[in-house]
Amino acid sequence: MSPTPYRVIISGGGTGGHIFPAVAIANELRRRQPEAEILFVGANGRMEMTRVPEAGYEIVGLDISGLQRRLTPQNLLFPVRVFRSVRKAGKLLESFRPDAVVGVGGYASAPVLIAATSRGIPALIQEQNSYAGLVNKLLSRRVDRICVAYEGMEKFFPATKLVLTGNPVRTEIAGGSRTEALQFFGLSPEKKTLLVVGGSLGARTLNQATAAALSRLQEAGVQLIWQTGKLYYPEAQQQAASYAEAGLKALEFVKRMDLAYAAADVVISRAGALSVSELCLTGKPSILVPSPNVAEDHQTKNALALVQRNAALLVTDAEAPTKLYDQALALLADPSQQQQLSQNVRCLAHPDATTAIVDELLALMDRA
């Protein structure tokens, strides 16, 4: 039995799809073990270095980045960076002395997991996607437990280590009041509302297609909550300015996603693991536009896991400029299809995912 308070390192990041599950795991562990000491490890220059402290946790950065898809000077330096990061992670482990390490994916996950497993420290991977990431596949034989969000993951991982938990999602995401939501965003209860989210970093294709469709949405009497991401916000704000009175709103980042989902009749979204899990939990009818710029095209595989169960619609990134808003307006005008998609997607939710993952983590530490 490991003495309490527990000491846990959570490593990884890069996007909200890695960071928010990591914070959810930390919050649940702290809820159960208020004295637990939790340290995050991320990659310098990535968004976890600001998001994690905002959530109230300490984070240490490693100088690590991913391999580029083409030959670059950075790729030549990659082995050196990995070696240095593993060495720094090792020193960090020796000073912090964790009872267990959790990897959630992202650049910083690999060095910490390599250093931990080489020292016999219990290690757990949380794989968010339906198609396993390269780092997690490579490390799967070294770690003790692998928590996954989809069935059939034994094609990537040792079956004896797998636990189907679902993805950690903030449970409050599904608790928003529609009345409060419409008031919060200044929208009318008499109109349909469309929510467009391109992930924590934004999505060029979704933003361009949405900008081109603003007049169509106004003519159709549809309201819009449009999360653009930081990079695209200045231009999108200008494009939406003349449509504000019609309830078409461009926002850099939506902090109250519970209210955004509560307000929405239909959601257009990328198909990152976190977004898909939130759609399942909220039961929202959606059109998924997978990003083509991700490793192993895992967003398409995430989307197909829903589409094959008639739980979402899919428009490819290439089709989005011409087809996306035809589909969106058709779905908004079809309450029966909305209801069918909503019923089916709710069946895929794992509302107790975070609890199940922390159960596995505590069991690992208790056995160590």
Contact 82, 112 (CB under 8 A): no
Nearest-angstrom CA–CA distance, 149 and 129: 7
Query: Is 28 flagged in the annotation as binding?
Result: no
Query: Is 333 flagged in the annotation as binding?
Result: no
Query: Is 276 flagged in the annotation as binding?
Result: yes
- Sheet bearing 162-164, strands edge to edge: 58-62, 37-43, 7-11, 100-103, 123-127, 145-148, 162-164
Structure tokens of 49? 């270095």
Query: Is 216 flagged in the annotation as binding?
Result: no
Contact 113, 120 (CB under 8 A): no
Query: Is 41 flagged in the annotation as binding?
Result: no
Contact 316, 287 (CB under 8 A): no
Query: Is 227 flagged in the annotation as binding?
Result: no
Distance of CA 239 to the CA centre of its chain: 28
Q: What is the DSSP string of 322-364?
A: HHHHHHHHHHHT-HHHHHHHHHHHHTT--TTHHHHHHHHHHHH
Buried b (16+ CB within 10 A) or exposed e, 56-94: ebebbbbebbbeeeeeeeeeeeeeebbeebbebbbebbe
Amino acid at the residue 333: A
Contact 114, 345 (CB under 8 A): no
Query: Is 58 flagged in the annotation as binding?
Result: no
Query: Is 273 flagged in the annotation as binding?
Result: yes
Query: Is 355 flagged in the annotation as binding?
Result: no
Contact 285, 337 (CB under 8 A): yes
Query: Is 112 flagged in the annotation as binding?
Result: no
Query: Is 299 flagged in the annotation as binding?
Result: yes
Structure tokens of 25? 């795991």
Query: Is 274 flagged in the annotation as binding?
Result: yes
Residue ranges at the known binding site? 15-17, 129, 170, 200, 273-278, 299
Residue ranges at the known binding site for UDP-N-acetyl-alpha-D-glucosamine? 15-17, 129, 170, 200, 273-278, 299
